Structure 1
Amino acid sequence: MSATPMEDVMRTKINEAFTPSTLIIRNDSHLHAHHAPMRDSTSQETHFHVTITSESFKSKMQAARHRMVYGLLKDEMSQEGGIHALQLRTRTPEEEQREKERQA
């Protein structure tokens, strides 16, 4: 049994649906454990920051990209002890390359 079953499911679903060139999943649950809605939660996997770079996002606005990811993870977001918060960063390979060039 994995110590990160929610992250494992997310990684599998995102990889299968979007074939990302970059996928970073950061579990930020520990930063939110003190929040009232989280006090009784037994899950250590409720808050995530996810960065996805994929050709699947070409010609789509950010809102549409986010809807694609939310739709993919709807079961994980609706279950008891599931994902409570999901912060997304979605981009195309070209957008990622431009960002790297700006940072250089």
Structure 2
Amino acid sequence: MTVQTIIETKLTEQLKPTLITVENDSHKHSRGENSHFNLTLVSEQFAGLRPVQRHQKVYGLLSDELTNGVHALAIHAYTPDEWQSRSEDVPASPNCLGGSKHDL
């Protein structure tokens, strides 16, 4: 099972999202494959949670992946109403500017 599939499966089982997209952006970075992901999640379970609490929930569910190879995870987490009010538009993630301690 790929890291992308593991991420999708864990989040789907726990958060029951109405929408989930997981994009592997590792090819844009120097940390190797399966290191950078862009995540969009729409779930009722985010209702009443501030953005940081939503991120913490996702980080908790993916703690194994984040300590074993996943270097970066861009999270876009919405309730169904928020998603609809955004016209179902995902914000673009910034491009990697290169350079890191890893590259030294």
Counterparts in 2 of 1:101 and 1:91: CA distance versus 1, 3 Å: closer
User: What 5-or-longer segments of structure 2 have no aligned partner?
Assistant: 90-104
Task: Quote the offset at 1:100 in angstroms.
Answer: 1.1
Q: Kindly provide the CA deviation profile for residues 63-99 of structure 1, in whole angstroms up to 9, marking residues without a partner as x.
A: 00000000000011111xx211001000000001111
User: What 5-or-longer segments of structure 1 have no aligned partner?
Assistant: none
CA distance in 1 between counterparts of 2:83 and 2:40 reads: 11
Q: What is the aligned residue count?
A: 89
Asked whether 1:29 is paired with 2:26, we answer: yes
TM superposition score normalised by structure 1: 0.81
Cα-Cα RMSD = 1.6
- Of Structure 1 and Structure 2, which has the larger fraction of its residues in helix? 1
Give the number of the structure whose alpha-carbon radius of gyration is greater: 1
1:9-28 aligned within 5 A = 9-28=6-25
Question: What amino acid sits opposite 2:3 in the alignment?
Answer: M
**Helix, strand or coil at the partner of 2:70:** coil
CA distance in 2 between counterparts of 1:97 and 1:50 reads: 17
- Within the candidate set 65, 71, 83, 1:84 is matched to 71
Aligned to 2:39: 50
Task: Quote the offset at 1:101 in angstroms.
Answer: 8.1
CA distance in 2 between counterparts of 1:26 and 1:75 reads: 18
- Identity, % of aligned positions: 37
Counterparts in 2 of 1:27 and 1:14: CA distance versus 1, 3 Å: same
Question: What amino acid sits opposite 1:63 in the alignment?
Answer: V
Task: Quote the offset at 1:24 in angstroms.
Answer: 0.7
